Structure 1
Amino acid sequence: MDPILSVHVKLLAVDLLSLRIQPSDPPTFTHNSRPVSRAETLGVVVSRERKDKFLKFLVDDGTGCIPCILWLNHHMFASRFHPIDLELKMQMALEYAEKIQLGILVSVRGRFTAYRGIIQITVADVVVERDPNMELFHWMDSIRLSRQYNDANKKLPPQSIPTLDSGKNPVQFDLKK
């Protein structure tokens, strides 16, 4: 199992919107051909729609808008959780819903889901950021981690790696010039 599957990957909206959905039950998502299931993103809340069962909102990080959904009716998960845990989850969801207001900077963590073919984040955690520099730090972290990840995945083909056992000099100089 790929270790990146079980961590919250820091993604920008442009990365999230380029995820590929693999048809399965439940659907799986891939980023650069590796499976991912969770994300962390940060941006400004630009849209907010509250219903009885959920709060739907958009987070704009400067590269695009990320659809997020926060479920408020946790009774549908009653069979999976202890009643005390369920009550705490419901209280936390209501607190998060009150925190999420238009124009504020939020950090959102959750898992990927798809609704009518659109990828969204089902929210597990929301933090209101008071420091506007956090958006820049998130950008820098996302880019740095993406570069590290991409550099780690670049592999040279076996025939292009020089070895001393091959009898050929790995470095050749043209001294006749």
Structure 2
Amino acid sequence: MQGDHAEAQKSESAEDPLPSMLWGLDPVHGVFAKLYIKDILELKNSCTVPGVFFYKTHPITKVDILGTVVQKREREKFVSFGVDDGTGVISCLCWKKQRTSENIKPASSSFGLNLLEQLNKITQLEQRNSQLDLGDIVHVRGWLKDYREQREINSTSVSKIADPVFTAQIARMLELPYLYRNFYDKTFEIPTDSPEPNQQGMKTLSLQRKIKQFLNQTRVKNFYQQELEAIDSLVCIAQQDQVSTYLQEHSAQTLQKTPCVSRQIHEVFQEAVCALQEEGIIFQKVAGPSKLYLVTDEAKELHNVTLRIIQDDSTRPKHVDKGCPFLHIVSCVRHSYSAGVSEAAVQRVLDRLECNSEIISTMDRHYTAA
């Protein structure tokens, strides 16, 4: 049975998603990854380096979990306990620290601080926090490993949390989807040396910056994409490569009328506009063929609606302590203002309101009226 399991595990990890020499380029590799326990248990082993696991294309070595103690086993040198976060249960190992305070000579500083006494206090505090019982909420950080074909966490930090109203658990429930959506579920891509994608990306980035500069200077409230394509200073950026490519075969007048060039210029503008939408600089209030874009900073009605939602809802009992959660604000804005408003646009509005001291961020992505 063990041989079959090893063969199956080896076939699953026949090739790592990312070469080991490139692991350091992935920012996820260097942090304590906050993952659901179910996903931690299903991480694939690296076929080249023991102790390294993969979530999709991201190499994982250490994790950060929050959950309830549902199992406990104590030995002379360590404590083993199971943690449940609602998606699965994983075993955590906490080694007992052996302190020989009797070998430390009493010493005091010039300020009258007894170092041995302070050390004993720290030891007692650590021992008290390490006394885990079933039902305790714990925050665990540690290194992943497989021991006897079982996934477990060799903990470097274990903190017992007094959380009678589940504040920490609710905050973790709000944080994890954001991390998965913006980091873990995104494929890590190594930049290539191919000049064509880089030139295309740099051209789109240059056009994106130029459009932002144009919107900031003119204080335009809304626009259509075809209106941007009629501005010479923007078109010059979008058609730089096309000019160099076709100049030998076309005159300047013919170049402007070439359908292929016009289509490529339109595509560059479209990529730049989409990037501005993802950044929250612009948004569409009404989705449709007209494609009218509104500038987020100039959308006063959106700012007023968002501020009014926070002022009203932050006084309600369930939000009075922590403030309104970000996703709740987004949902209310879409219901009251427009279903087409992106999360990035709402975040930009919240940042502007906080900069103007009209709202206050009370904790991670929670807001209340100032």
TM-score (norm 1): 0.73
Task: Name the structure, 1 or 2, with higher relative contact order (CA <8 Å, separation 6+).
Answer: 1
Correspondence for 1:104: 136
Alignment-derived partner of residue 39 in structure 2 = 15
Distance 1:126 1:102 in 2: 15
Query: Of Structure 1 and Structure 2, which has the larger fraction of its residues in strand?
Result: 1
Give the letter aligned to residue 146 of structure 1. Answer: Y
What is the RMSD of the two structures over their aligned residues, measured on CA atoms? 3.2
Call closer, same or farther: CA 1:47–1:151 in 2, change over 3 Å.
closer
TM-score with structure 2 setting the length: 0.37
Structure 2, gaps ≥5 residues long: 1-23, 105-118, 190-196, 205-237, 243-260, 268-370
Give deviations 1:68-114, integer Å, cap 9, x for gaps: 11122669xxxxxxx99xx99xx58744431x210011111111111
Question: How far apart, in 2, do the equivalents of 1:151 and 1:19 lie?
Answer: 13
Inter-partner Cα distance in structure 1 for 2:89 and 2:126: 22
Alignment partner, residue 256 of structure 2: none
Does structure 1 residue 40 correspond to structure 2 residue 64?
yes
Q: 1:129 to 1:36 in 2, by over 3 A?
A: same
Counterpart Cα distance in 2 of 1:23 and 1:154: 19
Residue 6 of structure 1 deviates from its aligned partner by: 2.0
Which residue, 118, 122, 140 being the options, matches 2:174?
Answer: 140
Confirm or deny: 8 A CA contact 2:63 2:141 kept in the other structure: yes
Tell me by how many angstroms 1:153 deviates: 3.4
Name the CA distance, whole Å, in 1 between partners of 2:65 and 2:93: 13
- CA–CA separation in structure 2 for the residues paired with 1:40 and 1:33: 19
Larger gyration radius, structure 1 or structure 2: 2
Distance 1:154 1:50, change over 3 A: closer
Helix, strand or coil: the match of 1:149?
A: helix
- CA gap 1:151/1:61 in 2 versus in 1, 3 angstroms: closer
Q: 1:70 to 1:151 in 2, by over 3 A?
A: closer
Instruction: Give 1:34's aligned amino acid.
Output: H
Is contact 2:51-2:144 (8 Å) kept?
Answer: no
| Residues 95, 30 of structure 1: alpha-carbon distance in 2 compared, 3 angstrom cutoff | farther
- Do the aligned partners of 1:10 and 1:41 also contact (CA within 8 Å) in 2? yes
SS of the residue aligned with 1:148? helix
Within 1, Cα distance between the matches of 2:45 and 2:98? 26
Where is the helix percentage greater, Structure 1 or Structure 2? 2
Aligned partners of 1:45 and 1:104 also within 8 Å: yes
Contact 1:10–1:141 (8 Å) recurs in 2: no
Among 79, 94, 97, the residue aligned to 1:55:
79
- Cα distance 1:71–1:13, how it changes in 2: closer, same or farther (>3 A)? same
Deviation at 1:134, TM superposition (A): 0.9
- The question of whether the paired residues in 2 share the 8 Å contact of 1:5 and 1:37 is answered with yes
